[in-house]
Amino acid sequence: MQVPRSTIVELLRSRGQDGLAAQAEQHLPEQVDTQQLAATLQRLGIDVPALLSRLPGPLRAFLER
């Protein structure tokens, strides 16, 4: 599943993890494949189901297809 990098960065910033947000901005591609980069997301403290739950309903439904 592809998730915009900006969504991950926003999630990290909302947690007060600005350093990790900066790392994510530098190292993640614009569209993040959550399966392919699962280990990287885990190192950033990102739980993929929690990330997906933060997406707007229509976007989440589209991505879950």
What confidence score (pLDDT) does residue 51 get?
Answer: 75
56 pLDDT band, cuts 50/70/90, is low
Alpha helices in the chain (DSSP H): 5-14, 18-27, 38-43, 48-53, 57-63
Please state the domain extents for the chain.
2-63
CA 20/CA 63 separation, integer angstroms: 24
Arithmetic mean of pLDDT, 13-37? 91
24 pLDDT band, cuts 50/70/90, is very high
3 pLDDT higher than 90? no
Q: pTM of the entire structure?
A: 0.74
